[in-house]
């Protein structure tokens, strides 16, 4: 296993800016062997990036259609299309899709069931999936962070086989920290990650709990990444704005040089009893 660092470009970047950025990354030197790096450009830029990106960065989609295969699906982009482009990953359930209508008054809000079906569709086509979950500020203030995150993950659990989890990364992204400049403290990230890992143990299996990478997303930058990755249950990052900068490679290089599975598992086992004592209302509020 390896740490995981993902970059989500959202609907950003021009051909000119992307060419310059990729060129700078290609000259940035080697990454630690302990890290897997995945980039999700906008759909229209996937091929442009693929043609020139360094070999140790894989590509993914930001979203796939619930339609399958090739057909009369005007405007849709299926998992098969992205796989044909050379993508090996996709995002599923990013909060900007879960809350598209409620925030931007556009389209519809993606439901947890839709996210689960897209996850299953991608896996069956041969794409790996970064499943995004996270609570709003209101959820956290009401003490329902874990209930919200677990409900989002439960929809995915219902449609997957235990073997499917080997190709899933869970990205915990508190909505109140995405693009706001406000980052969950390392302790806040750790307490949610630890609780999610316990949930996987109790609802899927101990093996899946131990082997599923849970990464943090929400205003990750070079100034806070080291403190976050030092947490026992933070296995990497899903990064938005900072992945559009040359310094993204510095964040990648901030991960430990070695993934020590035995040590990480031992630490996690020690935390199980403490995590079991965390009440649903016991999570701290965001830093002011």
Determine the 3-state secondary structure of 264 from DSSP: helix
Query: Six-digit token pair at 216?
Result: 């943090």
Beta pairing partners, 38: 6, 58
Model-wide pTM > 0.85: yes
Pairing between β-strand 168-172 and β-strand 213-216 as defined by DSSP bridges: parallel
Query: Can you give the pLDDT at residue 15?
Result: 98
Q: Are 18 and 48 in contact (CB under 8 A)?
A: yes
Largest CA distance in the chain: 53
Query: Can you give the pLDDT at residue 277?
Result: 65
Query: Can you give the pLDDT at residue 107?
Result: 78
Q: Is the dihedral of CA 79, 83, 85, 90 positive or negative?
A: positive
Residues of the chain with pLDDT under 70: 268, 271-288
Query: In angstroms, what CA-CA distances link 50 with 132, 170, 228?
Result: 24, 24, 30
With tokens 């899946």, the residue in question is 208
Q: Where are the beta strands (DSSP E) in 68-127?
A: 89-92
Determine the Cα–Cα distance for residues 188 and 134; give it in Å rounded to an integer: 13
Query: Can you give the pLDDT at residue 84?
Result: 97
Determine the Cα–Cα distance for residues 139 and 149; give it in Å rounded to an integer: 10
Residue 88: CB atoms within 10 A of its CB come to: 15
- The structural domains of the chain, ordered by start, are 3-276 (3.20.20.70)
Nearest Cα neighbor of 232 from 261, 207, 253 is 261
* Helix or strand run (H / E) with residue 91: strand 89-92
Q: Which residues have a catalytic role annotated? A: 94, 173
Beta pairing partners, 214: 170
pLDDT tens for each residue of 34-87: 999 999 999 999 999 999 999 999 999 999 999 999 999 999 999 999 999 999
């Amino acid at each position: 296993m390896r740490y995981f660092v993902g970059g989500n470009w959202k609907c950003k970047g021009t051909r000119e800016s992307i060419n310059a950025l990729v060129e700078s990354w290609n000259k940035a030197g080697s990454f630690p062997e302990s890290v897997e790096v995945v980039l999700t450009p906008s759909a229209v830029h996937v091929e442009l990036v693929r043609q020139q990106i360094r070999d140790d960065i894989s590509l993914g989609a930001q979203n796939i259609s619930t339609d399958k295969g090739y057909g009369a699906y005007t405007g849709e982009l299926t998992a098969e299309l992205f796989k044909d482009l050379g993508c090996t990953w996709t995002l599923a359930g990013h909060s900007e899709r879960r809350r598209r209508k409620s925030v931007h008054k556009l389209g519809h809000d993606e439901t947890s069931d839709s996210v689960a079906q897209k996850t299953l569709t991608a896996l069956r086509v041969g794409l790996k999936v970064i499943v995004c979950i996270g609570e709003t500020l209101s959820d956290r203030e009401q003490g329902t962070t874990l209930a919200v995150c677990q409900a989002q993950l439960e929809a995915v659990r219902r449609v997957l086989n235990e073997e499917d989890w080997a190709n899933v990364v869970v990205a915990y992204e508190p909505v109140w920290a995405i693009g706001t400049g406000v980052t969950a403290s390392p302790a806040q990230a750790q307490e949610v990650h630890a609780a999610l890992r316990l949930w996987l143990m109790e609802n899927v299996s101990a093996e899946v709990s131990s082997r599923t990478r849970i990464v943090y997303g929400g205003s990750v930058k070079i100034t806070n990444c080291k403190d976050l990755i030092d947490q026992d249950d933070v296995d990497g990052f899903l990064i938005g704005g900072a992945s559009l900068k040359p310094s993204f490679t510095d964040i990648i290089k901030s991960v430990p040089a070695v993934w020590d599975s035995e040590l990480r598992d031992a630490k996690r086992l020690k935390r199980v009893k403490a995590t079991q004592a965390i009440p649903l209302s016991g999570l701290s509020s965001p830093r002011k």
